[in-house]
């Protein structure tokens, strides 16, 4: 039986006010070996930090020994502010990164996200130095176009080949434009929300984290 991460709700300062968040710690009070920030999908389409894919990513990091922060973007549930078309949400992600760095300054910090949140995480990974990045079904062309560069850390892009919202062809075309590119893992038969495939997603994330977390 898998050990359950220890979780607590908190509030952290953001550019538009307080951001509602959950901090997941490794099970059994183990000292964390890393820190991670997880960004949720589009808030105007029901996306919150409680989204199943965002939750699965947080569990993957906690299982890997990371202190992991999920937070609600501005205007989502208990977070202050209002939706800002990815502009303010990028600033929210950087605020979450800063908050984790203040508390875990000596640990490697990773970024992760799903769909809209994956695109925000990619932009944040370009803007700040992180040790790793996991992008699940990244909505790149809608929310992270015209990047000023690309993440230089170990980077996994994970998507289903039956994704009905983020085109697998667009993702592959974007992937092929990057040099050096991230690692791309396509899950056959998986759609956008990975129904019935969350354990496969979690296991892929755990493998990637385990392979790269000691190579900083």
Encode pLDDT of 116-150 as tens digits. Answer: 999 999 999 999 999 999 999 998 766 556 677 88
Q: What is the 3-state secondary structure (H, E, C) of 140-177?
A: HHHHCCCCCCCCCCCEEEEEECCCCCCCHHHHHHHHHC
* Residues in the chain, overall count: 216
With CA atoms as reference, report the closest residue to 89 among 43, 52, 134, 132: 43
With CA atoms as reference, report the closest residue to 155 among 184, 123, 119: 184
d(CA 10, CA 84): 23
* Position 50 in a domain: yes
Domain that holds residue 142: 6-212
* Position 127 in a domain: yes
* Position 89 in a domain: yes
- pLDDT of the residue at 1: 44
* Position 1 in a domain: no
How many distinct structural domains can be found in the chain? 1
* Position 72 in a domain: yes
Encode pLDDT of 156-183 as tens digits. Answer: 999 999 999 998 998 888 888 888 889 9
CATH classification of the domain holding 207: 3.40.50.1820
Listed as ranges, residues in the chain with pLDDT below 50 are 1, 215-216
d(CA 26, CA 32): 6
Q: Diameter of the chain by CA atoms?
A: 45
CA distances from 111 to 59, 90, 167, 189 (A): 14, 12, 22, 26
Q: Strand 132-136 and strand 109-114: pairing?
A: parallel
* Position 182 in a domain: yes
Q: Contact at 8 Å (CB) between 81 and 5? A: no
pTM: 0.94
- pLDDT of the residue at 117: 97
- pLDDT of the residue at 96: 98
Sign of the CA dihedral running 152, 121, 147, 200: positive
């Amino acid at each position: 039986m898998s050990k359950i991460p220890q979780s607590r709700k908190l509030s952290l300062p953001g550019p538009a006010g307080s951001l509602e968040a959950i901090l997941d710690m490794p099970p059994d009070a183990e000292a964390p070996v890393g820190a991670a920030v997880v960004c949720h999908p589009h808030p105007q389409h029901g996306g919150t930090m409680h989204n199943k894919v965002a939750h699965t990513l947080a569990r993957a990091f906690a299982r890997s020994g990371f202190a992991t922060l999920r937070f609600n973007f501005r205007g989502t549930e208990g977070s202050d502010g209002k939706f800002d078309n990815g502009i303010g949400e990028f600033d929210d992600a950087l605020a979450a990164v800063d908050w984790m760095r203040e508390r875990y300054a000596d640990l490697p910090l990773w970024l992760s996200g799903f769909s809209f949140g994956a695109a925000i995480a990619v932009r944040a990974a370009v803007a700040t130095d992180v040790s790793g990045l996991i992008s699940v079904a990244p909505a790149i062309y809608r929310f992270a176009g015209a990047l000023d560069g690309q993440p230089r850390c170990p980077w996994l892009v994970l998507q289903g080949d039956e994704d009905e919202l983020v085109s697998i062809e667009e993702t592959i075309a974007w992937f092929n434009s990057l040099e050096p590119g991230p690692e791309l893992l396509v899950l056959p038969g998986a759609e956008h929300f990975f129904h019935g495939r969350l354990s496969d997603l979690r296991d892929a994330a755990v493998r990637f984290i385990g392979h790269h977390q000691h190579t900083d």
